[in-house]
């Protein structure tokens, strides 16, 4: 299950949150075998973020954690579509959108420990 959490320094309305969730749900399809049904998404708005010594820029810091994807297939398209979503919905310039990917080797859900075959 991919988990995407975003920290932005702008307010986010419920409608904007739903639009981002939907756009990321579509974007995750770039990664083989995934769709919105697997996506866990969260957003923290009005964060105090500073970039280039200023807090006046609109900024997004996004972490995308994905389990068992060491080949990173589809990550380039996923990145481009996430960037476009935050630009279109929140007006954040691509140069101020930073995305960190975490390769998850172990995961737990529903009381079950899951380990990736990839090491």
Mean pLDDT to the nearest integer, 20-47: 95
CB atoms within 10 A of CB 87: 16
Q: Where are the domains of the chain?
A: 3-115
Looking at the structure, give the CATH architecture of the domain made up of residues 3-115: 2-Layer Sandwich (3.30)
97 contacts 87 by C-beta, under 8 angstroms: yes
Mean pLDDT to the nearest integer, 70-77: 87
User: For residue 58, what are the contacts with CB-CB under 8 A and spacing of at least 6?
Assistant: 8, 9, 10, 90, 91, 92, 93, 96
Average pLDDT of every residue of the chain:
93
The span from the CA of 116 to the CA of 6, in Å, is 25
């Amino acid at each position: 299950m991919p988990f995407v959490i975003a920290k932005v320094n702008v307010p986010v309305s419920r409608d904007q949150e739903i639009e981002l969730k939907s756009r990321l749900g579509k974007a995750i399809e770039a990664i083989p075998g995934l769709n919105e049904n697997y996506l866990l998404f969260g957003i923290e708005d009005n964060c105090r973020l500073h970039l280039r010594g200023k807090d006046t820029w609109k900024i997004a810091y996004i972490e995308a954690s994905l389990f068992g994807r060491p080949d990173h297939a589809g990550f380039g398209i996923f990145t481009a579509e996430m960037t476009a979503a935050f630009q279109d919905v929140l007006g954040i310039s691509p140069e101020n959108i930073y995305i960190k990917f975490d390769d998850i080797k172990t995961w737990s859900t529903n009381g079950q420990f899951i380990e990736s075959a990839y090491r």
